[in-house]
Structure 1
């Protein structure tokens, strides 16, 4: 399946095997990366919920919290917990994760009666999209490194084997 002209494409460095995703032809090791054609694939297109769960470790509850903040504007943990019926500690944990991802902004507000409270406001959609895209690309880089390690581990295990057994059993046990 060839991506259309306005979709990001996948590139690979012919020198080091690095992977790049983008609209333009990125460079690596001092030269342009080669575009890879993915063709037919056994991998199905992920839903947004699956993508958020897999890459960003968002549970269904966290997605609920995220959507409520996106719709509700500026909210405190207490107000949001009351609104959606989740425990305050659960809401606070999810809001902190969403703030780390850059989906919501966390600010400390001084209360007129003393003390402070944290308020959470949604980031604009274009900011959320760019931050999630950046985090996704980091995840792809780390996932690619895992695949490279798997290949390296397999070759090393086969090379180090001193028996007449089938070597693929090494990976069945893991």
Structure 2
């Protein structure tokens, strides 16, 4: 259980609109950021699966592959495909994505009989957590920019109307 002091909070810069996430009040534009109060009723807590699907573009299959590598140690694509019953090409594609995310390490191993094979090993849980956290914060930054852009696009569309007619209508019951 986390103590209130360790709880993750949201902050916003009053000058530039930047967003901060963490247990302590960050500074931005040489000023402490303001805490943002959120209502729990507005947004439901995402499941881990929803988070991984949304932020990291992981399918259920990729999550299966990820968990299997985490439990199985060093594995090749062939070994993993046989173990979980997925096609080798599917497993290879997902392992490459997991390696890009930094969840697994991909290494080339020279085979004694000649040639090479790639082996995949899990990163330690604390490394995985930090890498996913960094990617998540990057995603939040981009999502925030999308929201800011949406507001700006609406305002610009209304202001740039050549016809003088309203660009959108609010419907009310009479």
* Fold shared per TM-score above 0.5: yes
Aligned equivalent of 2:139: 139
Q: Encode CA deviations 1:111-170: one digit per residue, 9 max, x unaligned.
A: 11111111001111111111100000000000000001001000000001133543226x
- How high is the TM-score relative to the length of structure 2? 0.92
Q: CA RMSD in A?
A: 1.4
Q: Which runs of 5+ in 1 are unaligned?
A: 170-174
Contact 2:158 2:166 in 1 (8 A): no
CA distance in 2, matches of 1:4, 1:75: 41
- How high is the TM-score relative to the length of structure 1? 0.92
Aligned equivalent of 2:156: 156
Aligned pairs, how many? 167
CA distance in 2, matches of 1:24, 1:71: 34
Q: Encode CA deviations 1:8-63: one digit per residue, 9 max, x unaligned.
A: 11010000001010122111112111111113442111000000000000000000
Three-state SS of the structure 1 residue aligned to 2:117 is: strand
CA distance in 2, matches of 1:120, 1:34: 43
Three-state SS of the structure 2 residue aligned to 1:78 is: helix
Aligned equivalent of 2:52: 52
CA distance in 2, matches of 1:72, 1:165: 63
Alignment of 1:1-150 (within 5 A): 4-150=4-150
CA distance in 1, matches of 2:82, 2:112: 22
Aligned equivalent of 2:172: none
Which stretch of the first structure deviates more once superposed, 82-91 or 37-46? Answer: 37-46
Three-state SS of the structure 1 residue aligned to 2:108 is: strand
Q: Which runs of 4+ in 1 moved over 2 A?
A: 162-166
Three-state SS of the structure 2 residue aligned to 1:150 is: helix
